[in-house]
Amino acid sequence: MSTHLYQLSTKLLGDTIGRMNDNLTSIVLAASAITLALGYVSKVMLKQSSAEKHLKYPPYIPSYIPFLGHAIAFGKSPIEFLENAYEKYGPVFSFTMVGKTFTYLLGSEAASLMFNSKNEDLNAEDVYSRLTTPVFGKGVAYDVPNPIFLEQKKMLKSGLNIAQLKEHVKIIEAETIDYFKRWGDCGERNLFEALSELIILTASSCLHGKEIRSLLNERVAQLYADLDGGFTHMAWLLPGWLPLPSFRKRDRAHREIKNIFTKVIQKRRSSGEPVDDFLQTLIDATYKDGRPLDDNEIAGMLIGLLLAGQHTSSTTSAWMGFFLAKDKALQDRCYAEQKAACGEHLPPLDFDQLKDLNLLERCLKETLRLRPPIMTMMRMARSPQAAAGYTIPVGHQVCVSPTVNHRLRDTWVKRMEFSPERYISDNVAAGEKFAYVPFGAGRHRCIGENFAYVQIKTIWSTLLRMYEFDLVDGYFPTINYTTMIHTPHKPIIRYRRRKP
Ligand code: HEM
Taking only the tens place, the pLDDT of each residue in 187-244 is 999 999 999 999 999 999 999 998 999 998 888 888 998 888 887 877 877 777 788 8
Query: What is the residue with the minimal CA distance to atom 40 of ligand 1?
Result: 444
* Contacts (Cβ under 8 Å, ≥6 apart) of 417: none
Cα–Cα distance for residue pair 299/33, rounded to 1 Å:
34
Residue 90: which of 410, 371, 415 has the closest Cα? Answer: 410
For a ligand 1 pocket test, name from 127, 282, 312 the mutation site with the most ligand atoms within 8 angstroms of its C-beta: 312
CB of 159 sitting under 6 A from ligand 1: no
Whether the CB-CB separation of 117 and 385 falls below 8 Å is answered with: yes
Would the CB of 401 count as within 6 Å of ligand 1?
no
Interval between CA 362 and ligand 1 midpoint (Å): 20
Cβ neighbours of 93 (radius 10 Å): 22
Ligand 1, atom 9: closest residue by C-alpha: 439
426 CA from centroid of ligand 1 (Å): 26
CA–centroid distance, 308 to ligand 1, in Å, is 6
- Nearest atom, ligand 1, residue 455 CA: 27
φ, ψ of residue 67 in degrees (nearest 5):
60, -60
Task: Write out the DSSP string of 58-97.
Answer: PPB---SSTTTBTHHHHHH-HHHHHHHHHHHH-SEEEEEE
Confidence of residue 53 (pLDDT cuts 50, 70, 90): low
Task: Using the mean position of ligand 1's atoms as its centre, give its distance from the Cα of residue 281 in Å.
Answer: 19
Cβ–Cβ < 8 Å for 142, 124: yes
* DSSP code for 196: H
Query: Domain ranges in the chain?
Result: 1-54, 55-497
Under the banding of pLDDT at 50, 70 and 90, the label for residue 145 is: very high
**Residue owning the nearest CA to atom 31 of ligand 1:** 448
Residue 92, SS3? strand
Q: Is the CB of 452 under 6 A from ligand 1?
A: yes
377 lines ligand 1 (CB under 6 A): yes
**pLDDT of res. 51:** 52
The pLDDT, as a whole number, for residue 237 is 76
Q: How far is the CA of 461 from the centre of ligand 1 (A)?
A: 23
Question: Between helices 449-466 and 191-203, what is the axis angle to 10°?
Answer: 130
Provide the residue count of the chain.
500
**H helix intervals, 181-326:** 191-203, 210-214, 218-228, 233-237, 245-271, 278-284, 295-326
Q: Answer whether 396 contacts ligand 1 (Cβ < 6 A).
A: no
77: pLDDT confidence band, cut at 50, 70 and 90?
A: very high
Checking if the pLDDT of 283 tops 90, the result is: yes
321 CA distance to ligand 1 middle (Å): 21
Per-residue pLDDT, 5? 30
Q: CA-to-CA distance for 266 and 210, rounded, in angstroms?
A: 15
Other beta carbons within 10 angstroms of residue 15's beta carbon come to: 9
pLDDT at residue number 175: 96
Instruction: Render pLDDT for 410-445 as a digit per residue (tens, 0 to 9).
Output: 999 999 999 999 999 877 888 899 999 999 999 999
Nearest residue to 195 via CA among 477, 418, 393, 3: 477
- Name the residue at shortest CA distance from atom 33 of ligand 1: 446
Whether residue 398 contacts residue 122, with contact meaning beta carbons closer than 8 Å, is answered with yes
Report d(CA 382, CA 94) in Å as an integer: 16
Is residue 320 lining ligand 1, measured as CB closer than 6 Å? no
Model confidence at 25, pLDDT cuts 50, 70, 90, reads very low
- Is the domain spanning 55-497 CATH 1.10.10.410? The answer is no
> Which of 97, 2, 38, 32 lies closest to 378 in space, CA to CA?
97
Residue nearest (by alpha carbon) to ligand 1 atom 19? 446
Q: Report how far ligand 1's centroid is from the alpha carbon of 445 (Å).
A: 7
pLDDT at 219: 87
CA atoms 391, 392, 398, 399: torsion sign: negative
Evaluate: CB of 303 within 6 angstroms of ligand 1.
Answer: no
Can you tell me the distance from the alpha carbon of 348 to that of 261, in angstroms, rounded to the nearest whole number? 32
The mean pLDDT of 47-61, rounded to a whole number, is 75
Query: From the CB of 168, is ligand 1 less than 6 Å away?
Result: no
Kindly state the average pLDDT of the residues 95-114.
96
Region 36-65: what's the mean pLDDT? 68
What amino acid occupies position 396?
H
CA–centroid distance, 154 to ligand 1, in Å, is 13
144 phi and psi, to 5 degrees? -120, 160
Give which of 480, 159, 132, 170 is closest to 308, Cα–Cα: 132
Whether residue 117 has its Cβ less than 6 Å from ligand 1:
no
- For a substitution probing ligand 1, which of 151, 157, 446, 450 has the most ligand atoms within 8 Å of its CB? 446
Q: Is 399 annotated as a binding residue?
A: no
